[in-house]
């Protein structure tokens, strides 16, 4: 074999590896973006349930307007969050206000027996479960992407093409306590 042929083979092999590595990063980045989209879909589902829940409780607890305002304000903040940190804070606040809404319902036995209220409560519980599953899926995709970016020699390709690590969605202990599904 001539030295020129060996050089061509090495160059082709390195180029093929670089292309494969680049494509892997694109795939992993897109998977994590898709996972975040899944989280947003589930949160939107929950946001859409909240006005119905508030209206149902309002019919029974007319004098609890401050609670309704807090829930509405927290829902608006959660819907308007743009960064992962803002989402974490806003979701924590929304969960806390929903707990106060369910606490209000405890004082109204007729409300607790209302079929519409019970159905909305079950749907909200289901939405919370799906949001948690979506966050786990998002974090596992971010883990795979970040790991690929940090491993050698993939970090060389990642650096050359300006791939950056993604942020995990993390709850503090206080956030985790606020995340418990209302009983």
62-68 mean pLDDT = 78
Percent of the chain with pLDDT over 70: 92
Q: What is the pLDDT of residue 180?
A: 54
For the record, the structure tokens of 40 come out as 């947003």
Quick check: 117 pLDDT over 80? yes
13-29 mean pLDDT = 94
Burial of residue 183, with CB atoms counted within 10 A of its CB: 0-12 exposed, 13-18 middle, 19 or more buried? exposed
What does the alpha-carbon distance between residue 154 and residue 161 come to, in Å, rounded to a whole number?
11
**pLDDT interval class at 99 (50, 70, 90):** confident
- Model confidence, pTM: 0.74
Q: pLDDT per residue over 76-94, tens digit each? A: 999 999 888 888 888 888 8
What would you measure as the largest C-alpha separation in the chain, in angstroms?
A: 90
More confident residue, 13 or 95: 13
Q: pLDDT per residue over 119-156, tens digit each? A: 888 898 899 899 989 999 999 999 999 999 999 988 99
């Amino acid at each position: 074999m001539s030295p020129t042929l060996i050089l061509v083979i090495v160059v082709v092999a390195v180029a093929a590896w670089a292309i494969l590595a680049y494509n892997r990063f694109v795939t992993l980045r897109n998977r994590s973006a898709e996972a975040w989209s899944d989280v947003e879909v589930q949160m939107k589902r929950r946001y859409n349930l909240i006005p119905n829940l508030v209206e149902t409780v309002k019919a029974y607890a007319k004098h609890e307007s401050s609670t309704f305002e807090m829930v509405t304000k927290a829902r608006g903040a959660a819907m308007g969050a743009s960064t992962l940190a803002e989402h974490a804070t806003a979701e924590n606040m929304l969960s806390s206000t929903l707990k106060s809404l369910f606490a209000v319902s405890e004082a109204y036995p007729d409300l607790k027996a209302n079929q519409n209220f019970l159905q909305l409560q079950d749907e909200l519980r289901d939405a919370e479960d799906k949001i948690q599953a979506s966050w786990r899926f998002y974090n596992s995709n971010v883990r795979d992407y970040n790991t690929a970016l940090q491993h050698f020699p993939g970090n060389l390709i990642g650096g050359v093409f300006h791939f950056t690590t993604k942020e995990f969605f993390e709850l503090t202990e206080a956030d985790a306590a606020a995340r418990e599904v209302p009983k």
